[in-house]
Amino acid sequence: MTKANEDNKLVKNVLVTVFNKEPVLPLLKELKKLDVTFYSTGGTMQYMKEKGFDVTSVETITSYPSIFGGRVKTLHPKIFGAILSRKQDPAHQSEAERYDIPSIDMVIVDLYPFAATVKSGASFEEIIEKIDIGGISLIRAAAKNFSDIWVVSSASGYTDSADILRSQNGYVTYEQRRKYAARAFDVSSVYDMAIYQFLSGDIPDSFKVSMPDANMLRYGENPHQKGVYYGNLDDVFHKIQGKPLSYNNLLDIDAAVNLIEEFELPTFAIIKHTNACGVASADDIAEAYQKALSSDPAAAFGGILVSNRNITTQCAYHINDLFFEVIIAPGYDKEALKLLSSKKNRNILERKKDFSLPEKQFRTIMKGVLVQDRDTQTAGPGKWDIVTAEKPSDRQVEDLIFANKIVKHTKSNAIVIAKDNHLLGSGAGQTSRVDALKHAIDKAKEFGLDLDDAVMASDAFFPFPDCVEIAFNAGIKSVIQPGGSIRDKESIGFCDKNNMSMVFTGIRHFKH
């Protein structure tokens, strides 16, 4: 049991002002057991009284009513004096006595939901009204004076706070108050950042980002590098089983989720070092997996598996023969899950339906940050320019769409070869487009995949006609690329002479 000393403070007087009322009730009940004095105002005070708490109104202390439709309630010297006065400073306590300023030991705040109001599509006026002034001021004041005040600045701290009160008989240590003060300034900074970004528009004057929930990783990309993931994966996945995800796992999972988002047909993909080494769409997910694995069974070893359909028992039987790090799917049949979970080190993730990918991407470079929109465009046939005399067949059109989706998510320079909604070979991250194509062809041949009448996708234009010539000689009959080279006519000319079809999308998909 914690006892009183210079660093430990006993909670006696508590100011409560929260937007969401129900979550705070268990914490209030723990405080009531300690016979504390509660101060509150407005809707929070009404709620507390309805639940049987004795509450002193802030207006009783300030002798001033809530004004301007509730915009000004707690903004008063007596309230902030009670929070900011140093309890061990005789001069402060003398002033507090002179001006009849009460003592407050704990402040509990839950701010107006500004970010949620923006996300809801509310009007500009409604959003502005959800900018909390009194609450944010209370949080900052209490956090500044953490040597004397304990501040609980959001609902996420209620459970831990109740546990502290219960286990320490109402006392709070200096280190605990300091920890909660740091959380309070985090809450404050995130809140202010959301307001700044809303008022600044699409391109703010300065780059600001705040991600909650630091998750320490074993290491970064390599064992000698420290690694941390900031964010809440529980918003994205339900983790059914598995060891802690590594830095590299998370990079590959991100690549997998971004790629699989492109497909509507039952599709399975296998990711290695953020590039797809196997992708296929089929009538059922078991067939899609088997085709995806055949793209490159060697590279699939130790990879990340992702599906846009539930994993069936039949599919799981095939998957179970492969060593893999992570599998991601919208769901799993009961028997499939039993089979896959037989090896405990496998990470089995169930993707949540309401998750959406972020609109912005950023990365640090040198002494700055690059920010861009996520690449959300994939041109469909309605926007293609068929530049050759030969037009792609219906089957080729389907394959061109398929290949173009994959090449969009492949490291540049990138070439993807596909047929029958099946990745046959890819060349990723090569310093020349010719090397990327040769690598893709070699991969397909290595695993006995037939390139006759296959299609080719390129993430950027062909600077010379050599790529279409190499592709033709390998059996490829149709090409999709952005176009835009000053030598486009040479590539088109070669295609026309050899009855190849080629389409321009007008959209480049560099990925570095």
Q: Which residues are catalytic?
A: 144, 273
Q: What is the dihedral of CA 388, 390, 391, 396, to 10 degrees?
A: -110
**Given CA atoms 20, 180, 57, 24 in this order, what sign does their dihedral have?**
positive
- DSSP H or E stretch at residue 209: none
d(CA 491, CA 27) in angstroms, rounded, equals: 71
Other beta carbons less than 10 A from residue 431's beta carbon:
9
Q: What angle do CA 308, 413, 228 make, to 5 degrees?
A: 60
d(CA 387, CA 125) in angstroms, rounded, equals: 51
Contact 148, 106 (CB under 8 A): no
Number of helices (H), then strands (E), in the chain: 18, 23
> How distant is the alpha carbon of residue 303 from its chain centre?
21
Instruction: Please state the length of the chain.
Output: 512
Burial class (CB in 10 A: 0-12, 13-18, 19+), 199: exposed
The DSSP secondary-structure symbol of 233 reads G
> How distant is the alpha carbon of residue 487 from its chain centre?
41
Phi/psi at 318 (5° precision): -70, -45
Q: Which among 169, 125, 220 has a CA at the least distance from the CA of 30?
A: 169
Where b means 16+ CB within 10 Å and e means fewer, 270-303 reads: bbbebbbbbbbbbeebbbbbbbbbbbbeebbeeb
d(CA 331, CA 350) in angstroms, rounded, equals: 6
